[in-house]
Amino acid sequence: MRSIRNLATATATATATAVAAGLLAATGAVAQTFPAKPITFVVPFAAGSATDQLARALGQSITDQTKQAVVVDNKGGASGQIAAAQVARAPADGYTVLITTNTTHAANEHLYKKLSYDPVKDFAPITGLGKGGQVLVVRADAPYKNVMDLVAAAKKTPGKLSFGSGSSSSRTAGEMFKQLTETDILHVPYKSNPNAITDLLGGQIDFMITDTSTGVPQVKGGKLKALGVSTTQRNALLPEVPTIAEAGVKGYDMGYWFAAYAPAGTPAPVVARLRGRLGVGTERASAKNFYDGSGSVAWTTTPDELGKFQAAETAKWGKVIKAAGIEAE
């Protein structure tokens, strides 16, 4: 009887091993032919935003490498929650990828009491894509010659001035500005930074701190005036513009990052293929033009490195948001 049981156990084990080996082989085979159809890049912000520009540059590179189309699907709104939730619920086959920023994967969980997605459990990290900074801009005809002029005006008329934001990075940058300058400035939310820029140009808001790829072209075109950049070093695109800290707001430092995520459960070999294609994409001319034109830099990682980086960034953004006095909505 014991020998029969042992035989049954051995048979079951062998069967399970064979099934597992078969699944592994099948997954590997799928990865070797991936992609076999068009890929969708879901972007949490509007067309023309920094994330959108990068997604389109990388998408073109993947098409060049694989001869498969890449569709960019812009799903702005709710600080990226709509896009993130869409990808979280997509099939875990590698054909739906979230091209996003720290907004959805580091800041939002501190800004909202309830998210429509879990930034950790619902995703498989693929790779980092880039890092950059932001720029504080006002209309070209605004009376402020520098950052401290703006601060003085805000202190003279508490609650009268307003700033816009179309991402958590932009909002947190504005809130940190308020906190460090001890000013009362109204926040006006938008679906995306380009929308906020439109209202800034139209005089509906007084200033914003936006990604350089959105703000710099307006500065170069003479429509907006740059008063300061958000990082601790000056931006190569605006070498004459001081950092916000240099301009008088001591301790100010607020950058951002781009990264790619697939739905949780996406096979590791498929994630590896995506990482490889995206990595090559960051080195191609179209992406380099984006990095150079936006004042950002290419940055790639392994999936594990991105996961650890995201965890550290989530903790950092939590501290920044708490220090800025932002309450979760």
Over residues 77-97, the pLDDT tens digits come to 888 999 999 999 999 999 999
Buried b (16+ CB within 10 A) or exposed e, 286-314: bbeebbeebbbebbbbebeebeebbeebb
How sure is the predictor about 7, in pLDDT bands with cuts at 50, 70 and 90? low
Per-residue pLDDT for 224 more than 70?
yes
Domain boundaries of the chain, sorted by first residue: 37-132+256-323, 134-229
Give yes or no for residue 271 having a pLDDT over 50. yes
Q: Which alpha helices (DSSP H) does 182-302 contain, by range?
A: 193-202, 212-220, 268-283, 285-294
User: CA nearest 135: which of 36, 251, 217?
Assistant: 217
For residue 320, name the pLDDT band (cuts at 50, 70, 90): confident
Architecture label for domain 37-132+256-323 = 3-Layer(aba) Sandwich (3.40)
**Residue 261, H or E segment:** strand 256-263
Task: Tell me whether domains 37-132+256-323 and 134-229 share a fold.
Answer: yes
Query: Which pLDDT score, from 0 to 100, does residue 287 have?
Result: 96
Overall average pLDDT of the 277-294 stretch:
94
pLDDT at 120 over 90: yes
- Integer Cα distance of 189 and 78 in angstroms: 9
Q: Does residue 184 carry a pLDDT above 60? A: yes
């389109």: which residue's tokens?
Answer: 56
pLDDT at 30: 63
Spatial distance between the Cα atoms of 3 and 279, rounded to a whole number of angstroms = 55
pLDDT of residue 5: 54
Decide if pLDDT at 26 tops 80: no
The pLDDT assigned to 27 comes to: 52
Is residue 19's pLDDT more than 80?
no
- Predicted confidence (pLDDT) per residue in 238-251, tens digit: 999 999 999 999 98
Taking the CA atoms of 196, 202, 205 and 210 in sequence, report the sign of the dihedral they define. positive
Tens digits of residue pLDDT in 35-85: 999 999 999 999 988 899 999 999 999 999 999 999 999 999 888 999 999
Cα–Cα distance, 180 to 320 (Å, whole number): 11
What pLDDT is stored for residue 169 in this prediction? 84
Second CATH level (architecture) for the domain 134-229: 3-Layer(aba) Sandwich (3.40)
SS (H, E, C) 55-68: HHHHHHHHHHHHCC
- The share of the chain scoring above pLDDT 70, in percent, equals 91
Q: pLDDT value at position 314?
A: 95
Degrees to nearest 5, angle at CA 290 with 284 and 204: 160
| pTM beyond 0.85 | no
- Cα 173 from Cα 187, distance rounded (Å): 11
Identify the pLDDT of residue 10.
52
Average pLDDT, the chain: 90
Which has more confidence, 105 or 253?
105
- pLDDT at 9 > cutoff 90: no
pLDDT of residue 32: 81
pLDDT at 193 over 70: yes
